[in-house]
Amino acid sequence: MPFARRSLPLLLLILTGAAWAGQGDRPIERRVYVCPTWDAAVKLTDVEKYATKDEYIAACDNRFVLEKVRYRSDGLAVIAYFYHPRKSAGTKLPVIVFNRGSYIRGDIAPELLPMFHRLAKAGFAIVAPMYRESDGGEGHDDMGGADLNDLLNIIPVLNQLDSLDTRNVFLYGESRGGMMVFQAVRDGFPARAAATFGAFTDLGEITSSGSGAATAKKIWPDFEERRDEIISRRSAIRWPERLGIPLLLMHGSSDSDVSPTQTLLLATQLAKTQKEFGVIVFPGGKHTLQQHRLERDRQVVEFFRRRMAK
C-alpha cells in the first residue's frame, strides 16, 4: 500500500548550539541538517529508490542548505524540512510546500534531497511538513485527519522563514501527500496552484478489499464503524467542486499501488465543474514516477511558473 508504516533512525544534525536553535517561546526552532554519506543514507533510508548516487551527491550542494524546522501545530511540536539557497541575495523566492507520501516515517531527508535540489535549482524554496508522529514529531498521525492541520499550520511558519515570497506559494504532493493537498485546497490553503502524482482520490475503492482493507483497519481501528466519515473526508472524488485552484494531476500508467483511474476519475469530475486542471499519464510509470522524475518535476515547475503573481 502507498501508506505502509515505516520508522527509521535519525541521522546526524549540526545544531546551532547544543540543542534546537530556538529557545523559550519562539514559535519555530531551526537546525541545519548535514548530508550523510551515500553509504550511510543507503543503510538508513530508501534513497536508492529515489536517486542515483551521483544525484544524491549533487543534491548535497554547498550553494543550498537543508534545515529541520520544529513548529507548533495544535499544541504539538512537529517537524518540517526547509531547503533553500544558502545566500538569498536579497530576493524573495516562491515556495513549494511538498507533501510526502506514506504513513509514519523517520528521517527521510536523504530520499527527498535530490528532488528538493531540482526544484531549488529552478528557483523555488521548498518547505515539507512531515506530519505529526513522524521524524520525532509529537502526536498521532491519523492519515488525513487532524494531521491535516500540520499542513494548514505551516502557513504562519512561511512568514518566519528567510526570504520567502508568500504571494507565490504552491502545493505539491505524492500519493498520501496528494490526498493532503486536495484537502488543504478544499479547506482554503492560500496556494496559487497545486500538483500531485500517484495521489489517491477515492479511499473507498482502495480500502474495499485485500491489503487495502487490512491496512485501513491498522490505521483506523474503528474503520468499520466510521467508514463513511473516514472515506468521505479523504476522497477528493466526493467534493471536486471545492478544488478551486489550478491543478496538475500526474500518474503512472503502471502504478500498482494506486490505480491511474483514481486520477482520471477526479479529472472527469473536475471537467464537469469547469475547473482549471491538467492531466499527465506517464506510459509505464510506476507509483512515484521515479523513472520519469526529471520530466515530472520539470512539468511541475513550468505549471507553477505560469501561475505566479508578478
pLDDT digits over 191-222, tens only?
999 999 999 999 999 999 889 999 999 999 99
Mean pLDDT, all residues of the chain: 91
Please state the rounded mean pLDDT for residues 110-116.
98
Please state the rounded mean pLDDT for residues 152-180.
95
Q: Which residue has the higher pLDDT, 158 or 90?
A: 158
What pLDDT band is residue 5 in, cutting at 50, 70 and 90? very low
Tell me how far apart the alpha carbons of residues 163 and 175 are, in angstroms, rounded to a whole number.
29
pLDDT tops 70 at residue 103:
yes
Please state the rounded mean pLDDT for residues 46-59.
96
Q: Which residue has the higher pLDDT, 239 or 5?
A: 239
Cell of 193: 496552484
Mean pLDDT lowest for which of 17-21, 71-75, 193-197?
A: 17-21
Cell of 295: 520530466
pLDDT tops 70 at residue 270:
yes
Total residues belonging to the chain: 310
Report field, pTM of the whole predicted structure over 0.85:
yes
What pLDDT band is residue 10 in, cutting at 50, 70 and 90? very low
Tell me how far apart the alpha carbons of residues 109 and 10 are, in angstroms, rounded to a whole number.
10
Predicted local confidence at residue 162, as pLDDT: 75
pLDDT tops 70 at residue 151:
yes
Predicted local confidence at residue 1, as pLDDT: 43
Contact criterion met (CB below 8 Å) for 196 and 172: yes
What domains can be seen in the chain, in order of their start residue? 28-305 (3.40.50.1820)
Give 194's contacts (C-beta < 8 A, 6+ positions apart): 170, 171, 172, 173, 181, 185, 245, 246, 247, 248
Tell me how far apart the alpha carbons of residues 136 and 235 are, in angstroms, rounded to a whole number.
28
What pLDDT band is residue 15 in, cutting at 50, 70 and 90? very low
Mean pLDDT lowest for which of 1-15, 129-143, 174-188, 244-258?
A: 1-15
What pLDDT band is residue 24 in, cutting at 50, 70 and 90? very low
Please state the rounded mean pLDDT for residues 248-263.
97
Q: Over pLDDT 70: what percentage of the chain?
A: 91
Tell me how far apart the alpha carbons of residues 164 and 83 are, in angstroms, rounded to a whole number.
11
Please state the rounded mean pLDDT for residues 167-195.
98
